[in-house]
């Protein structure tokens, strides 16, 4: 049974989410404010958080940022009525793994929740431990290291890197990455992928500079997808 935190001030939406998630045998805590959600997150571990960004007391982006600090291992899905792409990017950079734009269908949301909860290590990762240059990706331990030093990654950043590491020097389509790391039934905007690739690329570059390490880079293949390139010394 998964433990879920629903942060939603709309009584109708919150009530439906709570009842439908409980009907799927999930444990559900429903909080109506950002402060209440953060207090709950400090005392209980959650597998997934559904976070409405339009909260009455705190800015949802700030709640997202603080939630990620106290629940580093959970999947965090934003629920937002904000249509501007930059707002979505800011939320993803603040710590969210995915997002849904209101109005959304409850069936689609429940399918997305189920997909996130089922997904651990990407199916394409056949090896428990992959070494690429000075980077080691240990999918069994869900840990990445650079010359023995842990590379701090958010859950979806790790999943994305593990998916890339399973096929280094291979062009992977955007659709395949979204299917394997996020949701095979998600056919909406892929800004989630772009933001996570950018964050992962930045962390690899920073670690390479800090450690003097030979680390792979991520090449954008316009109109197709991405490729993880084996480093050359």
49-100 pLDDT, tens digit per residue, is 999 999 999 999 999 999 999 998 899 999 988 766 777 889 899 999 888 8
Res 213 pLDDT > 50: yes
Quote the CA–CA distance of 142 and 121 in Å, as a whole number: 8
Secondary element (H or E) of residue 130: strand 129-132
- In this structure, whether the domain defined by 3-118 belongs to CATH 3.40.50.2300 is answered with yes
- Cα–Cα distance for residue pair 137/127, rounded to 1 Å: 10
Task: Quote the percentage of the chain above a pLDDT of 90.
Answer: 67
Provide the pLDDT for residue 233.
66
In contact, 4 and 46? CB cutoff 8 Å: yes
Q: Tens digits of per-residue pLDDT, 29-42?
A: 999 999 999 999 99
Segment among 86-100, 123-137, 199-213 with least mean pLDDT: 123-137
pLDDT over 70, % of the chain: 91
Mean pLDDT of the chain: 89
Architecture of domain 129-229: Orthogonal Bundle (1.10)
Distance CA 120, CA 117 (A): 8
The predicted pLDDT at position 122 comes to: 47
Residue-wise over 205-228: b if at least 16 C-beta within 10 A, else e?
eebbeeeebbbbebeeeeeebbbb
Instruction: Note the pTM of the prediction, 2 decimals.
Output: 0.74
Distance CA 176, CA 163 (A): 10
Domain boundaries, the chain: 3-118, 129-229
Tens digit of each residue's pLDDT (9 = 90 or more) over 154-168? 888 999 999 999 999
For residue 63, give Cα distances in angstroms to 24, 27, 94.
27, 21, 9
CB 161 within 8 A of CB 200: yes
């Amino acid at each position: 049974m998964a433990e879920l935190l629903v942060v939603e001030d709309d009584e109708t939406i919150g009530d439906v989410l709570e009842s439908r998630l409980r009907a799927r045998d999930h444990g559900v805590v429903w909080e109506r404010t950002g402060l209440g959600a953060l207090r709950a997150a400090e005392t209980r571990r959650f597998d997934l958080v559904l976070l409405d960004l339009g909260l009455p007391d705190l800015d949802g982006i700030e709640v997202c940022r603080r939630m990620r600090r106290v629940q580093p291992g959970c999947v965090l899905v934003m629920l937002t009525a904000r249509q501007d792409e930059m707002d979505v990017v800011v939320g993803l950079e603040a710590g969210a793994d995915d997002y849904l734009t209101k109005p959304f269908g409850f069936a689609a949301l429940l399918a997305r929740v189920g997909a996130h909860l089922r997904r651990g290590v990407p199916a394409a990762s056949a090896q428990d431990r992959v070494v690429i240059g000075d980077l080691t990706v240990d999918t069994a331990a869900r840990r990445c290291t650079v010359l023995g030093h842990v590379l701090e990654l958010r859950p979806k950043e790790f999943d994305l890197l593990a998916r890339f590491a399973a096929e280094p020097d291979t062009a992977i389509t955007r659709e395949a990455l979204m299917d394997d790391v996020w949701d095979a039934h998600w056919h909406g905007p892929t800004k989630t992928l772009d933001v996570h690739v950018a964050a992962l690329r930045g962390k690899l570059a920073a670690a390479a500079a800090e450690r003097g390490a030979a680390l792979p880079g991520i090449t954008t293949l316009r109109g197709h997808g991405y490729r993880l390139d084996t480093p050359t010394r």
